[in-house]
Amino acid sequence: MNTSIVKNLALFDLDGTLFDTNEVNYRAYQKALAHFGFKFEREYWYRNCIGRHYKDFLADIDITDEKILKEIHRLKKQCYGEFLPYAKENLHLFKLIALMKPCYHIALVTTASRQNVEDILQTFNRTETFDSIFTQEDVSKMKPDPECYLKAMDYFKVEPTNTIIFEDSEAGLLAAERSGAFYYKVFKFNERS
């Protein structure tokens, strides 16, 4: 008789779901872009960039040179840590994770860089919360492609029907839907007050 408990899988997005990092990301991109002489307005960030891949929203302001894009992204990652005091935790969701741990594998799945993920998790003492972490370095296609979620399911050997995903952005929700898993939208946490 098999007495082991079959675990399910819960996957959590980072930005806008577990943490409100809008101001952190805005300030980091603003500083990185200033290095190249670009002025990056807060209202533009909040209206057009949140939840989108940096290559997409930078292309909207005519930054398409691959070398410059890579350097902006490198500089953004480099200065991200200095703006972490502006981040806010979604305490309700972290409490829910603690309740889920006995029955679920818990993974963080994000299009953020591994460096930025490690910085924020260390700052808020949340590194041990997750059984595994999947970042932009682990996939070849970004959300709304479901690759990141499918990779996590494959890693834990859990079917989509036994997986739940917590997301906030339209791209992330579309990726969740395409993965075949159940998914929940996190409302209001990262809205500007």
Residue 4 has what pLDDT?
A: 56
Residue 25's Cβ-count burial label (10 Å; 0-12, 13-18, 19+) is: buried
Residue 61, CA atoms < 13 Å, CB-side half-sphere: 16
Cα–Cα distances (Å) from 135 to 88, 110, 139, in that order, read 20, 5, 7
Average pLDDT for residues 31-46, to the nearest whole number? 94
Is the separation of the CB atoms in 101 and 75 below 8 Å? no
pLDDT in tens, 54-112: 888 999 999 999 999 999 999 999 999 999 999 999 999 999 999 999 999 999 999 89
Whether the pLDDT of residue 179 is over 60: the answer is yes
> For residue 50, what pLDDT is reported?
84
The answer to whether residue 192 scores a pLDDT higher than 90 is no
Is the pTM value of this prediction over 0.85? yes
Instruction: Give residue 1's pLDDT.
Output: 39
193: pLDDT strictly greater than 60: no
Q: What is the pLDDT of residues 165-178, one digit of tens each?
A: 999 989 999 999 99
pLDDT at 88: 96
Unique residue bearing structure tokens 């929940």: 184
Q: How many percent of the chain have pLDDT more than 90?
A: 84
- Is the per-residue pLDDT at 139 higher than 90? yes
